[in-house]
Amino acid sequence: MRKYRVGVLGSGKGSNFVALADAAAADPTIPYEIALVLSDVAEAGILTQARNRGIAAQYLSPGPFRTRLDPPTEAACVAALQQAEVDLVALAGFMRVLKDDFLRAYLTKVINIHPSLLPSFPGLEAWKQALEHGVKFTGCTVHFVDPGVDTGPIIGQLAVPVLDDDTPETLHARIQVAEHELYPAVVRALAEGRITVRGRLTTWL
């Protein structure tokens, strides 16, 4: 039986990719597999982590823009994912905004994990934003990707308490532990067809 194929885009060390890949490798009942890893950073750790696991990994030069891929690179990214017969695109620390052509190619098939309880603290360094605002709980969110920044329909969340002696580093580390639990669970549910989306409402079956 064909497994649900996931393509992962990342720019950094790839800890969420590792969580996804290792969860699938450890449990034969999990119905997804990582088919391809793409990065906009030639020396990104995520590429090394993928190659160490025998997973196809490719660097795509991002072009001249700082916050997005240039159109030829975006088209090459879509072509590589389609050639790998990817069913879902999971962003794992991917530091560029995907534009309309990419999202049209994978309509409601791109997800991201963000280190806060959205809609609170979108954007960069959300754990620092949480500390600065003095909240008692933050966490992580998996959401569908739309043309905005961290604005797509929310799929799942896990809360993390903010401790009195937390630093940005300690809080971020605990949020990452939650991310590594939540992301594989969401991808598994998507692979099993247990999540439906209507507008901004997502439902787990």
Q: How many angstroms separate the CA atoms of 147 and 98, rounded?
A: 7
Token pair 């995520």: residue: 46
> Given 114, 143, 172, 180, which residue is catalytic?
114
172 is annotated as an active-site residue? no
Confidence of residue 193 (pLDDT cuts 50, 70, 90): very high
pLDDT value of position 101:
87
What is the average per-residue pLDDT within 24-49? Answer: 97
The domains of the chain, with CATH numbers, are: 1-107 (3.40.50.170), 113-205 (3.40.50.170)
Please list the alpha-helical segments (H only) found in the chain.
15-26, 45-52, 71-83, 100-105, 126-133, 168-191
Q: What pLDDT is recorded for position 78? A: 96
Whether 33 and 24 have beta carbons less than 8 Å apart is answered as: yes
Per residue in 102-153, pLDDT tens? 999 998 999 999 999 999 999 999 999 999 999 999 999 999 999 888 999 9
Over 90: is that where the pLDDT of 66 sits? no
Q: How far apart are alpha carbons 183 and 20 in whole angstroms?
A: 7
